[in-house]
């Protein structure tokens, strides 16, 4: 530094900072030897706070306004320097400007999928990303805990740490909320507000306020999304037979493989359509059992009249209750004439138990 620069630094009496960036959170005002002239003018703009640091310790914090640096305006620094009666020579102090505006569009996102239980898909892996907004809420804590002696502190230096902090809480909150995966999209705003409320207390430990957090997307793995697309498409087809016919027609119209390809596609489409149609017809045909085999029936001569026909089950009942005796005449299809039951139905008389008395 040359002589004129040194002299200029000795007599400059205006201290201010205009932020021409969008990411500077803290800026240290550079003065030669940190010397500030007594009576210098300090301008603190809206969304700024000026912090005086004396020998490594925070002395005074000045809010927006225009100040003339005298003992009345910097009482703590005055007491530290023991300026009981004022002074005229420059004093030494570091001046930090802290940007208190809201920093927006900071990115967060999962580095690896988060494994969760889901009531519909059992277990799923989810990825998520979005944005968040912060601002400095406690200047002293922020300078002591995060910035330190950094003369130009930007959001890039804290964004990674905040993102890691958000993600460490995100999986727990996502699991506790127990919203089904397919319902998450409809609850992005509610979900974002819920996460903000639960993560904000941890961010406050850095002297920062998490003002807003947006969930822009929560997605499933590619293979799961493809399976969902297939399922959705299948449910949208409606009449399966008409859908197959339509698909066959579309395939034929869009074929680019030449005449042979067209013929193959046509054959495959027609065959598939016919097969599906036959399958649906078969499925719609009611299933009935085959007719029972013909059983032999008999006519019985009772009281001079022909009764029947009766199947074997009824014949056995008549034998058992003595309605049908051995000498009773019976006839069945294929017999030449009436014959005694004892000859025609001999085995049934032998196997029929006597009536109970």
Q: Please choose, from the candidates 58, 42, 148, the residue with its C-alpha nearest in 3D space to the C-alpha of residue 94.
A: 58
174's tokens: 């996502």
pLDDT at 76: 54
Q: Please choose, from the candidates 53, 235, 247, the residue with its C-alpha nearest in 3D space to the C-alpha of residue 151.
A: 53
pLDDT at 121: 76
Say whether pLDDT at 102 is over 90.
yes
DSSP 171: H
Query: What does the pLDDT average to over 199-217?
Result: 89
Helices within the chain (DSSP H only): 3-11, 75-81, 139-142, 156-177, 188-203, 222-236, 240-254, 258-284, 312-320, 341-344, 346-351
Say whether pLDDT at 277 is over 70.
no
- In order of 51, 139, 197, 276, 277, the CA distances from 287 in angstroms are 90, 83, 63, 19, 18
198 neighbors 173 (Cβ within 8 angstroms): yes
Query: What does the pLDDT average to over 71-75?
Result: 60
Cα 175 to chain centroid distance, Å, stands at 11
Q: Picking from 155-164, 247-256, 344-353, which range would have the lowest pLDDT averaged per residue? A: 247-256
**pLDDT 10s digits, 301-354:** 888 888 888 888 888 888 888 888 888 898 998 888 889 888 888 888 876 666
Q: Specify the higher pLDDT residue, 273 or 175.
A: 175
- In order of 119, 233, 346, the CA distances from 228 in angstroms are 16, 9, 73
**Arithmetic mean of pLDDT over the chain:** 77
Say whether pTM exceeds 0.75: no
Rounded to the nearest 5°, which phi and psi values hold at 314? -70, -35
**pLDDT 10s digits, 41-66:** 889 999 999 998 887 888 889 999 99
Say whether pLDDT at 212 is over 60.
yes
266's tokens: 């046509």
Domains detected in the chain: 10-99 (no CATH), 103-223 (3.30.479.30), 298-351 (3.30.1490)
In angstroms, the CA 121 to CA 5 distance is 71
């Amino acid at each position: 530094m040359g002589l004129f620069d040194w002299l200029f630094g000795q007599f400059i009496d205006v201290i201010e900072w205009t932020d021409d960036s969008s990411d500077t959170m803290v800026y240290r005002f550079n003065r030669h030897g940190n010397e500030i002239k007594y009576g210098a003018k300090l301008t603190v703009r809206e969304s700024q706070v000026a912090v005086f640091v004396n020998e490594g310790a925070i002395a005074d914090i000045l809010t927006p306004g225009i100040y003339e640096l005298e003992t009345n305006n910097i009482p703590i620094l005055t007491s530290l320097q023991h300026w009981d009666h004022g002074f005229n020579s420059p004093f030494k102090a570091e001046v930090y400007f802290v940007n208190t505006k809201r920093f927006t569009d900071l990115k967060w996102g999962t580095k690896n999928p988060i494994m969760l239980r889901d009531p519909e898909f059992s277990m799923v892996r989810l990825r998520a990303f979005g944005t968040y907004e912060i601002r400095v809420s406690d200047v002293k804590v922020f300078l002591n805990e995060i910035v330190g002696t950094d003369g130009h502190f930007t959001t890039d230096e804290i964004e990674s740490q905040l993102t890691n902090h958000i993600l460490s809480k995100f999986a727990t909150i996502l699991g506790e909320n127990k919203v089904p995966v397919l319902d998450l999209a409809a609850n992005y705003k509610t979900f974002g507000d819920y996460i903000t409320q639960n993560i904000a207390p941890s961010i406050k430990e850095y002297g920062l306020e998490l003002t807003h957090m947006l969930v822009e997307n929560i997605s499933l793995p590619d293979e799961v999304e493809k399976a969902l697309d297939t399922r959705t498409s299948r449910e949208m087809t409606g009449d399966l037979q008409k859908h197959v016919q339509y698909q066959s027609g579309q395939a034929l119209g869009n074929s680019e493989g030449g005449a042979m390809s067209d013929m193959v596609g046509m054959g495959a489409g027609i065959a598939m359509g016919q097969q599906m149609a036959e399958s649906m017809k078969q499925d719609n045909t009611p299933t009935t059992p085959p007719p029972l085999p013909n059983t032999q029936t008999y006519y019985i001569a009772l009281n001079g009249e022909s009764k029947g026909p009766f199947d074997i089950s009824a014949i056995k009942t008549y034998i058992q209750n003595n309605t049908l005796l051995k000498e009773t005449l019976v006839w069945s299809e294929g017999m030449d004439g009436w014959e005694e039951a004892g000859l025609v139905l001999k085995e049934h008389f032998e196997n029929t138990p006597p009536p109970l008395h």
